[in-house]
A and B are shown apart, each in its own frame.
Chain A
């Protein structure tokens, strides 16, 4: 039987390192992809994902057993992402990803080179379009489209109302739709 995240977190608070490792295994990929899509920087995303789990450990005493674990974890990751963007604006620097080409192990496993190329192109296009929408809309659309968080979980992670979540997702999709229509993709 699968132990719930909340139960693992409770054990983690009691000093169980095994429970912490299990939580890392469960969420490392989703948190990493969330931060990677938000920052569009592989190395920074990896650092931030590790920092998210370390913060989880450091702040485990603040976790209340009635809190849902997933939104709580995403809240930590989202705050770290926002801080990172703020720091980037203050101290702009060139990302390592601009020098090192990060190969996507899943995207590059297509049967034909044409298909792989097309996928890569589309992937870049999505990346560019997401980078062009406002940060708050980008964060919320990433949580919904890729992380499959419910509106309630998003509102809990970002500390905003359900109505605000609904309208931000709607506006984000409208923005993306307009860009796609302009570029004659949709």
Chain B
């Protein structure tokens, strides 16, 4: 390996993060290369220098304050709560999801079919009270005709004018 490559591995080397093979090559190289061994020394010096910033302690009431705050969160058995809230979680969740989904779809399909069936026979399907077809008007012996359609509709105001609606 060339010096540049060795130098780029020195940082990981001092952390013990190079492979066994690379470590052996680096060790062998620095034993006979002054420049790389000097680079290694500097890298270690950087680490030693950073070690001068010693640890600081938390305040005495740190834990007390933290645990008081934590109490408000109320430690709950999340896993059990999660299962209750998410019925489709866990093994068989997909099957349950498909089953419930199909049941809901069937329910709505049934509703649609039922409503169509009842609507077709329902007495509720009648012309609106303020409109009346020309056939009905003819039966009532009025002479109002439509120029373009036999299904001409009259408004309530027209019927009132014609005297067929009070």
Binding site for B on A (CB under 8 A): 12-17, 20-21, 24-25, 28-29, 32-33, 36-37, 42, 46, 49-50, 53-54, 57-58, 60-61, 102, 104-107, 119, 122-123, 125-127, 130, 141, 144-146, 150-151, 166, 169-170, 173, 176-177, 180-181, 185-186
Is A50 in contact with B62, judged by CB distance below 8 angstroms?
yes
**Contact among B50, B69, B73, B81 for A145, CB-based, below 8 A:** B50
28 A-B pairs with CB atoms under 8 Å apart are: A12-B75, A13-B77, A13-B78, A13-B79, A15-B78, A17-B75, A24-B63, A24-B67, A28-B63, A29-B55, A36-B56, A46-B58, A46-B62, A54-B69, A54-B73, A61-B78, A105-B57, A106-B55, A106-B57, A107-B54, A126-B52, A130-B50, A146-B50, A151-B12, A151-B17, A173-B43, A177-B45, A186-B49
**Distance between Cα atoms of A49 and B11 in the complex (Å):** 29
**Distance between Cα atoms of A25 and B58 in the complex (Å):** 12
Min CB gap B72→A, angstroms: 9
**Distance between Cα atoms of A71 and B7 in the complex (Å):** 28
Min CB gap A150→B, angstroms: 7
B149: Cβ under 8 A from any A Cβ: no
Which B1-28 residues have a C-beta within 8 angstroms of A?
Answer: 8, 11-12, 15, 17
Is B47 in contact with A123, judged by CB distance below 8 angstroms?
no
Is B45 in contact with A180, judged by CB distance below 8 angstroms?
yes
B59: Cβ under 8 A from any A Cβ: yes
Chain B minimum-CB-distance residue to A175:
B46
Give a binary string over B120-139; 1 marks a CB under 8 Å from any A CB, 0 the rest.
Answer: 00000000000000000000
Binding site for A on B (CB under 8 A): 8, 11-12, 15, 17, 42-43, 45-47, 49-59, 62-63, 65-67, 69-70, 73, 75-82
A-B pairs, 10 with minimum CB distance? A61-B78, A15-B77, A170-B11, A122-B52, A126-B53, A107-B54, A50-B66, A145-B50, A14-B77, A151-B17
Interface majority SS (helix, strand, loop, mixed), chain B: helix
Contacts of A54 in B (CB 8 A): 66, 69-70, 73
Contacts of A32 in B (CB 8 A): 56, 58, 62
**Distance between Cα atoms of A181 and B86 in the complex (Å):** 59
Contacts of A50 in B (CB 8 A): 62, 65-66, 69
Contacts of B80 in A (CB 8 A): 14
Known: A107-B54, A123-B54. A186 touches B42 (CB 8 A): yes
Is A33 in contact with B12, judged by CB distance below 8 angstroms?
no
Contacts of A125 in B (CB 8 A): 52
**Contact among B15, B47, B58, B77 for A29, CB-based, below 8 A:** B58
**Distance between Cα atoms of A57 and B66 in the complex (Å):** 11
Contacts of B81 in A (CB 8 A): 61
**Distance between Cα atoms of A150 and B12 in the complex (Å):** 10
Is B75 in contact with A33, judged by CB distance below 8 angstroms?
no
Is A14 in contact with B79, judged by CB distance below 8 angstroms?
yes
Is B56 in contact with A102, judged by CB distance below 8 angstroms?
yes
Contacts of B50 in A (CB 8 A): 126, 130, 141, 145-146, 176
Min CB gap A134→B, angstroms: 16
Is B49 in contact with A176, judged by CB distance below 8 angstroms?
yes
Contacts of A169 in B (CB 8 A): 11-12, 15
